[in-house]
Amino acid sequence: MRRWPVLTLLAVLTACKVRDPAPITETWTETFERTGRPGSDYYVTGAGYALVDGHLSAHGAHNHPMWLRKKLPHDVRIELDCWSTENRGDIKIELFGDGKSYDPDGGAYMATGYEIVFGGWYNQKSIIARLDEHGKDMASRTDVKVVANQHYHWKIERRGTKISWGISSPATPGEAALPHGSAESINGTPFLEYDDPHPLENANHEYLGFNNWETDTWFDNVVITPL
């Protein structure tokens, strides 16, 4: 059996470690216009994700995020299109997480970032939650529901300590206009805001994750812009 010098062995192990792509320092876009696996920009922690017809499908992932491996700047704008084919809704991402964690046992999921959920808990509640989506440290509302097959455009920004989340829902050919709970409930800014006096930042809080529990959800046209 060959014996490796300690320093040589450490060098080999370091070389084998997969390095992150370059962090996001200018506008970055993702359209998912390809087939096969998501690619080297992503770390997929479980089953449930696929690229289908130029969109990202997330279905039955059970809180195993698909992490974008490019680090986010502290102040950032994230825009994306999303929808669900089910009246259960539950469209979900994780923002400023550690880029590797997932739910190990299907129990109460403790996130490493902010959970942003539209129409969670069988379309009963939308939240921006800090670390624990079942905890009390969050902003929430219950008056707007996800409409099955309705496409939404999200705009999420963090500036300093404040996260703001806007949702618009332009009608597309063949889709009915979205019923509004109130004039400010949709197509307005913000949909929700959360001001965190101790923002999640620096090491272990630099990544975006697409997430999902059980419902059939879709993502597309991601644009990330440093602010």
Report the CATH number that the domain containing residue 167 is assigned in CATH.
2.60.120.560
In a domain, residue 51? The reply is yes
**pLDDT at 209 > cutoff 60:** yes
User: Please, which pLDDT band fits residue 186 given cuts at 50, 70 and 90?
Assistant: low
Identify whether 15 is part of a domain: no
The count of C-alpha atoms lying within 13 angstroms of the C-alpha of 100, restricted to the half-sphere facing its C-beta, is 4
pTM: 0.86
Is 13 inside a domain boundary? Answer: no
Given a contact cutoff of 8 angstroms between Cβ atoms, the answer to whether 85 and 148 are in contact is: yes
The answer to whether position 91 is within a domain reads: yes
Instruction: Name beta bridge partners: 35.
Output: none
Determine the pLDDT at residue 155: 96
CB 186 within 8 A of CB 122: no
Overall number of domains in the chain: 1
Residue 7 inside a domain? The answer is no
Residue 113 lies in a domain: yes
Least confidently predicted of 58-72, 98-112, 117-131: 98-112
Q: What are phi and psi of 71, to 5 degrees?
A: -70, 140
Say if 196 falls within a structural domain.
Answer: yes
pLDDT band at 10 (very low <50, low <70, confident <90, very high): very low
